């Protein structure tokens, strides 16, 4: 699965807020994207984790419909910033206060959040679109950003803003997708600083401080590593249950007492008594831990210290897992299933080119298996014992992509890791680097990539030294780079550097005879056996498979899920597929082929044997001589696609002729 996290929200404002928060924590280690539930959500079958903002059934249904069966779907735990809740503390106890949100479920969730934060002195009632103020009169009303219900003019509005994501959600998922421990520690320390500042701001009464401590303690309990925080006097202010079990299992009422009551407190002393103490390897209860500390400051004023302990065994396990995920090729040519001639030719060509050390450019539509070919090429190459480093160039913004590819020096930018970081080209030393979606990189990155290909050297961001790199580049794109070069969107010199050894991966419609084998292999991996009717297989052979193998797997999974019979029939297929095929069947060639010269377009596509854009078609002598213009070709291609004679790709992939189009040429005597 792709190292991608998706968040699905009910409202666009909430989605934008949460995306900003998630990206701040997970990127550049993991791609984060978001969708509103009312919009069209694309296929998410390769996504590793899906977050929902509320428990609304419609959000879960939307996520399950587009996500893979094994993808984790989690409702985010969220809380309000305590500084925004201070106004609630001033409302007299027992007051009835409406809580407004866009649905009954989300309004009730907000109320539950308030109660869990111990802001329980008020009587909350949910309000949402459709609710009115006709029956009762209120003096106060709670909203989150914007009101979803018209408000009376005489009420006091308390805006709590958007709910933030609980830090333990970020940490738990972050460990699964490879967020470094340094980032985790940085966020945890910042959270403690924020809570400490809020303690002073809200500390006007003992009750308010107790509410703050309760929320802090509940947050720390969710952290699986021991955490201990002390003030400047060495008095424990926070400690989670994991730390209690490790340091003082027989003590009670620990908060508010000196840290010296803890066993092995001498190990903590360097961190609680001085600044800038380096991490230490310590042994407690016959277990080894990395002990880290950080001073808590408010501007220049020290507030205390926080210590965290990380199990060395867990660190080693995570590092091994990340290394295997990111730097090892996991597929070989035996994993590429199919017996069709186009696929065999692509595999044989790839095996020959794998033995060479030149740059390879894999072209093909989305879902054709370009990444599988990249893995297999590395496994078949002389560099198979070296690392295999992969990156999707379209998944990161320009500045993050630059630092990931080429690395950065210490202090290169705000938030840069101390000591700098090697880029992926350096990490791929002696092996292969796979640049997926290379056609989407910006002009600035194109210039730097050209230098690497020409000189075999990189310069880190913020650095001046030149570093030699020895790695084989395999790039992939679903775009027509030749057209992009003609439009000035892609450097011509870079194109020729990338396309030294070009390999085109055939689309599924070009090898429909492989469909039964692909279905059998997909179901065998899941331990499922099913029989497919002849009618269904004929429909599969006629379909143009815009999503290629990925779409085929989705259709198979859908049919297996809904079928209640031993033999899968056409009634078990997704409606969008059967409707599309029915529409093609009803259309006739006569309705589309208004003039004999329309066959010329199909013939030019047939002769090209590769995707062509309307820009290229309009410049072919055979079409230009009979008056075809780019505008007329664009209109005609849309007509031809409606009846299935051609297929136009997305993101400027060009147009190809389909099996039905070839049959039309045969009937017209052109081939």
Residues contacting residue 234 through CB under 8 Å, at least 6 positions apart: 258, 259, 260, 272, 273
Q: Say if residue 1's pLDDT is above 60.
A: no
Tell whether 156 and 301 lie within a shared domain.
no
Tell whether 573 and 609 lie within a shared domain.
no
| Range ranked top by mean pLDDT from 73-77, 162-166, 516-520, 533-537 | 516-520
DSSP 37: T
Q: What is the pLDDT of residue 206?
A: 44
- C-alpha distances in Å from residue 646, one per residue of 55, 467, 606, 661: 43, 48, 10, 6
CA–CA distance, 262 with 244 (Å, rounded to integer): 9
CA–CA distance, 10 with 34 (Å, rounded to integer): 11
For the chain, how big is the Rg over CA atoms in Å? 30
Tell whether 402 and 487 lie within a shared domain.
yes
CA–CA distance, 278 with 385 (Å, rounded to integer): 36
CA dihedral 158, 164, 168, 173 (to 10 degrees): 160
CA–CA distance, 447 with 494 (Å, rounded to integer): 8
Q: Say if residue 261's pLDDT is above 50.
A: yes
Minimal CA–CA distance to 128: which of 156, 98, 168, 158? 98
Considering 294, 326, 358, which residue would you say is the last residue of a domain? 326
Range 77-84 average pLDDT: 71
Considering 264, 296, 326, which residue would you say is the last residue of a domain? 326
Q: What is the pLDDT of residue 349?
A: 93
Give the torsion sign (CA, 108, 111, 117, 123).
Answer: negative
What are the tokens at 291? 């002990």
Q: What is the per-residue pLDDT across 59-74, written as a single tens digit (0 to 9) for each?
A: 888 888 888 887 788 8
The phi and psi torsions of 145 (rounded to 5 degrees) equal 85, -75
CA–CA distance, 501 with 513 (Å, rounded to integer): 27
CA–CA distance, 35 with 40 (Å, rounded to integer): 8
Ranges 286-290, 316-320, 500-504: which has the least confidence: 316-320
What are the tokens at 641? 């696609």
Tell whether 244 and 302 lie within a shared domain.
yes
Q: Is 539 strand, coil or helix? A: helix
The residue that leads in pLDDT, 101 or 376, is 376
Cβ of 283: how many Cβ atoms within 10 Å? Answer: 11
Give the torsion sign (CA, 477, 480, 485, 487).
Answer: negative
Ranges 13-17, 101-105, 325-329: which has the least confidence: 325-329
Cβ of 513: how many Cβ atoms within 10 Å? Answer: 13
CA–CA distance, 227 with 241 (Å, rounded to integer): 9
CA–CA distance, 70 with 445 (Å, rounded to integer): 35
Our CA angle for 547, 551, 554, nearest 5°, is 160
Q: Which residue has the tokens 């409302």?
A: 91
Yes or no: say if 291 and 282 are a contact pair by the CB < 8 Å rule: yes
Q: Say if residue 509's pLDDT is above 80.
A: yes
Q: Say if residue 137's pLDDT is above 50.
A: yes
Q: Is 278 strand, coil or helix? A: coil
Q: What is the DSSP string of 484-509?
A: HHHTTSS-HHHHHHHTTEEEEPPPGG
Look at residue 378 and tell me if it is in a domain. yes
Tell whether 22 and 96 lie within a shared domain.
no
Residues contacting residue 572 through CB under 8 Å, at least 6 positions apart: 536, 558, 559, 562, 563, 565
Considering 306, 326, 346, which residue would you say is the last residue of a domain? 326
Range 326-346 average pLDDT: 85
The residue that leads in pLDDT, 54 or 444, is 444
CB crowding 33-42: b at 16 or more within 10 Å, else e = ebbbbeeebe
Tell whether 113 and 65 lie within a shared domain.
no
* CATH code (residue 617): 1.10.10.10
H or E, element range at 649: none
The phi and psi torsions of 127 (rounded to 5 degrees) equal -130, 145
Our CA angle for 75, 76, 80, nearest 5°, is 140
Mean pLDDT of all residues belonging to the chain: 80
DSSP 7: E
The phi and psi torsions of 113 (rounded to 5 degrees) equal -60, -40
Look at residue 431 and tell me if it is in a domain. yes
Q: Say if residue 626's pLDDT is above 90.
A: no
CA–CA distance, 639 with 15 (Å, rounded to integer): 38
- C-alpha distances in Å from residue 17, one per residue of 20, 56, 108, 167, 456: 5, 19, 20, 15, 42
Look at residue 586 and tell me if it is in a domain. no
Yes or no: say if 237 and 230 are a contact pair by the CB < 8 Å rule: yes
Q: Is 670 strand, coil or helix? A: coil
* 581, HSE (Cβ side, Cα atoms, 13 Å): 17
Look at residue 651 and tell me if it is in a domain. yes
Yes or no: say if 52 and 5 are a contact pair by the CB < 8 Å rule: no
Tell whether 352 and 499 lie within a shared domain.
yes
Tell whether 402 and 272 lie within a shared domain.
no
Q: Is 157 strand, coil or helix? A: strand
Look at residue 405 and tell me if it is in a domain. yes
Look at residue 170 and tell me if it is in a domain. no
Q: What is the per-residue pLDDT across 429-467, written as a single tens digit (0 to 9) for each?
A: 888 999 999 998 999 899 989 989 988 888 888 877 778
CA dihedral 22, 26, 31, 33 (to 10 degrees): 0
H or E, element range at 307: strand 301-311
Q: Which residue has the tokens 């006709």?
A: 134
Our CA angle for 94, 166, 400, nearest 5°, is 145
Q: How confident is the model at residue 530 (pLDDT cuts 50, 70, 90)?
A: confident
Q: What residues pair up with 52 in beta bridges, in sequence order?
A: 8, 75
Tell whether 498 and 529 lie within a shared domain.
no
Ranges 210-219, 447-456, 630-639: which has the least confidence: 210-219
Range 229-235 average pLDDT: 83
Tell whether 336 and 479 lie within a shared domain.
yes
Provide the domain count of the chain.
Answer: 6
CA–CA distance, 322 with 445 (Å, rounded to integer): 26
3-state secondary structure 349-407: HHHHHHCCCCCEEEECCCCCCHHHHHHHHHHHCCCCCCCEEEEECCCCCHHHHHHHHHE
Tell whether 236 and 378 lie within a shared domain.
no
* CATH code (residue 21): 3.40.50.10490
Look at residue 70 and tell me if it is in a domain. yes
Yes or no: say if 37 and 86 are a contact pair by the CB < 8 Å rule: no
Look at residue 209 and tell me if it is in a domain. no
The pTM of the full predicted model, rounded to 2 decimals, is 0.45
Range of the domain at 141: 82-162
Tell whether 547 and 536 lie within a shared domain.
yes
């Amino acid at each position: 699965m792709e190292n991608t996290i998706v968040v699905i929200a009910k409202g666009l404002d909430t989605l934008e807020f949460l995306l900003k928060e998630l990206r701040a924590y997970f990127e550049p280690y993991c791609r984060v994207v978001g969708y509103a539930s009312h919009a069209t959500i694309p296929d998410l079958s390769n996504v590793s984790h899906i977050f929902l903002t509320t428990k609304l059934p419609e959000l879960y249904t939307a996520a399950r419909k587009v996500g893979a069966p094994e993808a984790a779907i989690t409702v985010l735990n969220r809380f309000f910033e305590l500084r925004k809740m201070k106004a609630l503390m001033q409302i007299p106890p027992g007051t009835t206060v409406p809580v407004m949100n866009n649905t009954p479920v989300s309004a009730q969730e907000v109320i539950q959040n308030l109660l869990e934060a111990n802001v329980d002195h008020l009587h909350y009632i949910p309000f949402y679109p459709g609710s009115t103020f006709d029956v009762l009169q209120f003096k106060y009303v709670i909203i989150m950003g914007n009101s979803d219900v018209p408000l009376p003019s005489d009420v006091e509005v308390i805006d709590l803003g958007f709910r933030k994501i609980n830090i333990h959600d970020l940490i738990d998922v972050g460990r699964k997708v490879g967020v470094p421990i340094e980032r985790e520690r940085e966020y945890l320390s910042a959270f403690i600083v924020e809570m400490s500042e809020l303690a002073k701001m809200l500390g006007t009464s003992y009750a308010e401080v107790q509410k703050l401590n309760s929320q802090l303690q509940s947050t720390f309990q969710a952290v699986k590593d021991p955490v201990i925080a002390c003030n400047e006097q060495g008095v424990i202010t926070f400690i989670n249950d994991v730390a209690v079990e490790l340091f003082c299992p027989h003590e009670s009422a620990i908060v508010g007492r000196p840290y010296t009551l803890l066993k092995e407190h001498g190990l903590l002393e360097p961190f609680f008594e001085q600044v800038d103490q380096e991490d230490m390897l310590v042994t407690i209860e016959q277990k080894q831990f990395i002990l880290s500390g950080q001073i808590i400051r408010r501007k220049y004023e020290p507030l205390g210290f926080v210590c965290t302990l990380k199990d060395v065994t867990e660190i080693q396990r995570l590092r091994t897992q990340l290394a295997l995920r990111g730097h090892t090729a996991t597929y070989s040519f035996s994993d590429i299933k199919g017996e069709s001639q186009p696929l065999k030719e692509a595999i044989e060509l790839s095996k020959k080119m794998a033995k060479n050390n030149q740059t390879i450019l894999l072209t093909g539509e989305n879902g054709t298996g370009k990444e599988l070919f990249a893995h297999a090429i590395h496994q078949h190459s002389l560099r198979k014992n070296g690392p295999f480093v992969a990156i999707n160039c379209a998944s990161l913004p320009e500045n993050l992509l630059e630092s990931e590819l080429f690395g950065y020096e210490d202090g290169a930018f705000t938030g840069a890791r101390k000591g700098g970081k090697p880029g992926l080209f350096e990490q791929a030393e002696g092996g292969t680097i796979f640049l997926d979606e290379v056609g989407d990189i910006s002009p600035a990155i194109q210039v730097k990539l050209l230098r690497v290909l020409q000189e075999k050297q990189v310069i880190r961001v913020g650095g001046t030294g030149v570093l030699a790199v020895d790695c084989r580049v395999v790039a992939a794109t679903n775009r027509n780079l030749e057209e992009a070069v003609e439009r000035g969107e892609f450097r011509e010199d870079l194109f020729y550097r990338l396309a030294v050894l070009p390999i085109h991966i055939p689309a599924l419609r070009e090898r429909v005879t492989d469909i039964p084998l692909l279905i059998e292999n997909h179901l065998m991996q899941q331990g499922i056996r099913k029989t497919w009717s002849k009618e269904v297989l004929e429909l599969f052979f006629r379909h143009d498979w815009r999503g290629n193998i990925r779409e085929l797997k989705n259709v198979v999974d859908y049919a297996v899920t809904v079928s209640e019979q031993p033999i899968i029939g056409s009634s078990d297929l997704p409606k969008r597929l059967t409707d599309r095929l029915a529409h093609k069947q009803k259309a006739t060639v006569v309705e589309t082929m208004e003039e004999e010269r329309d066959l010329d377009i199909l013939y030019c596509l047939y002769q090209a044997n590769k995707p062509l854009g309307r820009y290229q078609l309009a410049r072919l002598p055979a079409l230009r001589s009979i008056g075809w213009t780019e505008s007329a070709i664009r209109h005609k291609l849309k007509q031809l696609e409606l009846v299935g004679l051609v297929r136009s790709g997305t993101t400027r992939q060009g147009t190809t002729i389909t099996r039905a189009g070839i049959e039309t040429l045969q009937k017209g005597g052109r081939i």
